[in-house]
Amino acid sequence: LIQINVFMESCILPCSTQVNDNLVIVWTQLTSRLVHSYFENQDQLEHQDQHFRGRTSLFKDQISRGNASLQLTGVEVQDQDRYRCYTSTMRGNKDSFVNLQVDAPVSKVNMEQVGNRIICSSEGIYPEPDLTWSTSPPSNLNLQNQTSIQQTEQQLYNISSSLILSDTANIQTSENTIMMHSGTLQLTHSLSVSEDSTKFREIARGVVGPILLAAAVVVFLVWYIKKR
């Protein structure tokens, strides 16, 4: 079973068990870290891994009905792993497994024109994004861009890219559009290049016309590092 959860939200790792007295529930990561344990009708957290302290709970009112699911709050990238739910009753033992995948989708895109550059950026993304510049409709624009990706202490990614408009001839589009993809989420953002930008006209010297417009489409394709 694969469980996908958004960064810093809560998630439920499902697990069921037979209804019986003397029930034991033990949640662990495959790295052998103890996530949560329950026996003698109460939580037993003395040996719980420090990373999970104060973040796990069982549904106590539903254990008697066979619900051994675990709730994990404040999900982090470091929580991404394979989890094992071990249950034991007088009738026997049972193992079940859940793969937790963490997703931090694109939530905001910043895009602006600074002189002869178009700059776009986004922060707090996971998994690592890939960025591609293109024009719409296609043109003979010479795309010179610089892209940087940095990873934070929380293992999220910040991305920034600048496009240099070094050739403005024969561009007939009025706006720049960003399309971002992160999982199932698609985000769009548009920006028109200012026709009265002094710096832009200096870069585009020799081009005659009442309006000079540039278009750029940014496509963010976020691929999951781990296969589901």
For 140-177, the pLDDT digits (tens) are: 666 677 889 999 999 999 999 888 776 543 343 435 45
Position 137 scores a pLDDT of 61
Q: How many CB atoms lie within 10 A of CB 100?
A: 19
The residue-averaged pLDDT of 187-201 equals: 49
Q: Which whole number is the average pLDDT over 31-38? A: 94
What pTM, to 2 d.p., does this model score? Answer: 0.73
| pLDDT value for 113 | 84
Q: Which of 226, 228, 217 is nearest to 176 (CA)?
A: 217
- What is the pLDDT, as a whole number, of residue 26? 98
> Where in the chain is CATH 2.60.40.10?
2-103, 110-222
Residue 218 pLDDT greater than 60, yes or no:
no
Strand runs labelled E in 30-109: 34-39, 42-43, 56-58, 70-72, 81-89, 92-103
Q: Residue holding tokens 């963490």?
A: 102
In this structure, which amino acid lies at residue 207? V
Residue of 17 and 188 predicted with greater confidence: 17
What's the CATH superfamily of 110-222?
Answer: Immunoglobulins (2.60.40.10)
What CATH code would you report for 2-103?
2.60.40.10
As a whole-number percent, the residues of the chain with pLDDT over 90 amount to 46
